[in-house]
């Protein structure tokens, strides 16, 4: 599939996360810290959409940059659907539930593998994805701090050998850090 299609799907994910985090900031109105954190993350995700769109415009201007890539979009599309489903649920979430879901979304192996596959394609795209990955790491740190301070119990996500958040930082090491923080 063409890289433009893949980048469009990545923008869809970033947009779905922005909408979810903005919604969390609205429905969790009674918790000032949660409102602040989710508003900030929503704005940052909207910035991610703009970065991906910028990269797409560059690709559209230079046809030689538009290439075929092999990426399985099923995991990414499942993330987009999960973010949308959380907003459409029958009940409003508690802060703890929102934090748990956010950790799951930010640690998603599907997003990581997707970005990794794109990053091997072009250096320009690799730099963009590296920046987005760093932003996601900061999101995760922010949420992990809230989880630790509030002593929220977060069940471990399924861990696979290929589910690395970034080189040298696996889901397993993140879970170990979370458990150590709670102790």
Are 141 and 104 in contact by the 8 Å Cβ rule? The answer is no
pLDDT of 108 reads: 78
How many residues does the structure list for the chain?
183
| Domain residue extents for the chain | 3-182
Say how far apart CA 81 and CA 14 lie, in whole Å. 12
pLDDT of 24 reads: 96
Say how far apart CA 18 and CA 4 lie, in whole Å. 21
**What CA–CA distances, in Å, run from 88 to 14, 29, 76, 82, 178?**
18, 18, 19, 10, 29
Residue labelled with tokens 């910035």: 47
Neighbours of 102 (CB within 10 A): 26
pLDDT of 85 reads: 94
pLDDT of 160 reads: 45
Question: pTM score, two decimals?
Answer: 0.75
pLDDT values of the chain reduced to their tens digit, one per residue, 183 residues:
777 888 888 899 999 999 999 999 999 999 999 999 999 999 999 998 998 898 888 878 877 766 677 666 787 888 899 999 999 988 999 999 999 899 888 887 555 545 655 656 667 667 777 777 777 778 878 888 888 877 877 777 655 433 433 434 444 444 445 445 444
Are 49 and 11 in contact by the 8 Å Cβ rule? The answer is yes
Task: Work out the widest C-alpha separation in the chain, in whole angstroms.
Answer: 54
Nearest Cα neighbor of 33 from 109, 115, 146, 174 is 146
Q: Which two tokens stand for residue 5?
A: 């299609």
């Amino acid at each position: 599939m063409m890289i433009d299609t893949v980048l469009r799907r990545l923008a869809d994910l970033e947009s779905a996360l922005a909408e979810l985090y903005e919604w969390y900031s609205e429905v969790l109105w009674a918790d000032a810290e949660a409102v602040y954190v989710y508003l900030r993350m929503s704005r940052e995700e909207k910035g991610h959409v703009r970065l991906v769109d910028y990269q797409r415009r560059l690709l559209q201007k230079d046809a030689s940059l538009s290439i075929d890539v092999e990426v399985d979009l099923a995991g990414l599309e499942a993330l987009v659907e999960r973010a949308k489903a959380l907003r459409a649920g029958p009940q409003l979430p508690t802060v703890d539930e929102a934090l748990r879901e956010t950790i799951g979304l930010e640690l998603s192996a599907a997003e990581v593998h997707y970005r990794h596959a794109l990053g091997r394609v072009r250096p320009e795209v690799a730099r963009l994805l590296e920046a987005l990955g760093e932003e996601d790491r900061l999101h995760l740190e922010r949420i992990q701090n809230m989880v630790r301070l509030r002593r929220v119990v977060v069940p471990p996500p399924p861990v696979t050998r290929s589910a690395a958040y970034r080189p040298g930082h696996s889901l397993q090491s993140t879970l170990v850090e979370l458990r150590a923080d709670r102790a």
